[in-house]
């Protein structure tokens, strides 16, 4: 307001000063020459510069400005300001601000309606699929509307911490082929251990007796490797432990675990197996925090030579697989003292073998026959593995469409390359469990 008034006042003052200048210039012009008769009758010219006292006119006064001067000085602190009568803009809103307020009210109303509709939808009754899923995982099934709403909300926010699949293992095989129990095994400090130094980099050594442990117990259990490592670091180690896929049925890696504040957790409720027939061996209690009743925590192995931790634990797991109790970890029909009885003792008396000893002898004979078969056909197995590697390499080295066709099974694989019968350096074959205990399996500088 002050700037507008100052501009208008300056414009009027300029107009007034220009009119005053025009009036002054007009009054300063020379007037008409006046003649005066002389004695001879001649006319004498009177110069205009000499004033004529008889016809002298007084200068016209300057027009006075009718515009009041604007007082732009700061008001004194104690002086009372006069009201001009203009409407203050403090309480008035522009059209843009009014439109913005209206849009805000509409958006808030729509948000409230959506929130109410979402709460009503989340509080609906449980469907049959949700009931089956929650009961299979052992989760509570609340009956109240608020309980159903909070349960569904928590499951929505828990999406990123869950395993990548709802069922980590495929459905169970038919009865003659499916093992009665599932044995989950960790890798770190249980089957192998890893060390690092400046000279060799990372080196991984397998635990003494691990080959016999896997081969013997695979007769009674569905063996599954469940590790918190990523597949690109754990898979080469698993392939060295079981190069022909004879003993390890499935492999689960980091993406199959559940995220928590204490790190990855192996949630067995996603396993797609009855929990009363699942046993997990681990060396880290925090990894099995969700199912401690199914877990057996062993002492970590740090590379000590001559370790017998796995071998000493075989009779316990063997007895569960032989007796087949209804609950894998509870004493239902056998005693703990009978689990660790030795079968190597020679019976001097003609007493017949016990049921446990008979089944143990049968399993050991099966183990020997299986190891003999692997040793006799080791060259064929190595040739098949090498042929598969060559087929993958040829498919990747060709054009893109040829690679896609080979991946989808479009063409036959190339002829196998004859092998030399030697196993890869490192862990060794499953038949060499007595020679490679504690051997280095891989190294990287």
The pLDDT of residue 138:
58
Inform me whether the pLDDT recorded for 418 exceeds 60: no
The pLDDT of residue 103:
93
Inform me whether the pLDDT recorded for 249 exceeds 80: yes
* Mean of all residue pLDDT scores within the chain: 74
Q: How confident is the model at residue 49 (pLDDT cuts 50, 70, 90)?
A: very low
Q: Per mean pLDDT, which of 53-62, 158-167, 391-400 is the most reliable?
A: 158-167
Across residues 238-246, what is the average pLDDT? 92
The pLDDT of residue 77:
63
The pLDDT of residue 435:
40
Angle between helices 355-376 and 210-217 (to 10 degrees): 110
The pLDDT of residue 325:
79
The pLDDT of residue 214:
94
The pLDDT of residue 60:
58
Q: What is the pLDDT of residues 194-235, one digit of tens each?
A: 988 888 888 899 999 999 999 999 999 999 999 999 999 999
The pLDDT of residue 404:
63
**pLDDT, greater one: 236 or 122:** 236
Among the four given CATH numbers 3.40.50.2300, 1.20.1250.20, 3.30.1330.60, 3.40.50.1000, the one describing domain 181-341+353-444:
3.40.50.1000
The pLDDT of residue 255:
92
Q: What is the pLDDT of residues 275-323, one digit of tens each?
A: 989 999 999 999 999 999 999 999 999 989 889 989 998 999 998 888 8
Q: Taking the model in full, what pTM does it have?
A: 0.57
The pLDDT of residue 409:
56
């Amino acid at each position: 307001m002050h700037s507008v008034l100052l501009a208008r006042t300056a414009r009027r003052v300029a107009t007034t000063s220009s009119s005053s200048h025009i009036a002054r210039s007009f009054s300063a012009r020379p007037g008409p020459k006046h003649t005066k008769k002389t004695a001879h009758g001649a006319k004498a010219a009177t110069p205009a510069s000499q004033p004529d006292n008889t016809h002298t006119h007084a200068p016209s006064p300057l027009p006075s400005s009718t515009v009041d001067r604007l007082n732009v000085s700061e008001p004194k602190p104690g002086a009372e300001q006069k009201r001009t009568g203009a409407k203050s803009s403090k309480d008035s809103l522009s059209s843009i601000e009014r439109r913005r307020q209206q849009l805000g009210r509409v958006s808030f109303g729509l948000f409230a309606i959506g929130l109410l509709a979402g709460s009503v939808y989340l509080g609906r009754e449980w469907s049959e699929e949700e009931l089956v899923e929650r009961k299979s995982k052992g989760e509570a099934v609340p009956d109240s509307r608020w309980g159903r709403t909070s349960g569904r909300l928590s499951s929505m926010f828990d999406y990123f911490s869950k395993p990548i699949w709802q069922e980590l293992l495929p459905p169970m095989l038919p009865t003659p082929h499916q093992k009665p129990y599932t044995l989950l095994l960790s890798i770190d400090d249980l089957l192998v251990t890893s060390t690092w130094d400046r000279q060799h980099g990372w080196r991984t050594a397998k635990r003494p007796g691990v080959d016999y442990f896997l081969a013997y117990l695979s007769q009674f259990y569905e063996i599954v490797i469940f590790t918190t490592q990523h597949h690109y670091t754990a898979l080469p180690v698993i392939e060295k432990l079981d190069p022909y896929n004879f003993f390890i049925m499935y492999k689960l890696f980091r993406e199959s675990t559940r995220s928590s504040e204490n790190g990855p957790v192996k949630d067995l409720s996603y396993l797609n197996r009855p929990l009363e027939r699942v046993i997990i061996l681990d060396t880290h209690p925090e990894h099995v925090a969700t199912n401690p009743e199914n877990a057996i925590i062993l002492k970590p192995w740090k590379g000590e030579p001559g370790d017998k931790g796995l071998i000493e634990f075989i009779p316990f797991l063997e007895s569960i697989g032989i007796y087949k109790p209804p609950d894998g970890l509870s004493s239902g029909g056998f005693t703990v003292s009978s689990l660790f009885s030795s079968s190597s003792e020679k019976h001097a008396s003609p007493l017949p073998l016990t049921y446990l000893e008979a089944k143990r002898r049968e399993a050991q004979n099966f183990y020997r026959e299986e190891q003999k078969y692997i040793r006799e056909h080791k060259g064929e197995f190595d040739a098949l593995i090498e042929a598969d590697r060559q087929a993958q390499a040829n498919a990747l080295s060709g054009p893109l469409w040829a690679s896609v066709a080979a991946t989808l099974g479009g063409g036959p694989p190339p002829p196998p390359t004859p092998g030399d019968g030697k196993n890869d350096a490192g862990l060794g074959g499953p038949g060499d469990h007595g020679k490679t205990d504690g051997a280095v399996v891989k190294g990287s500088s």
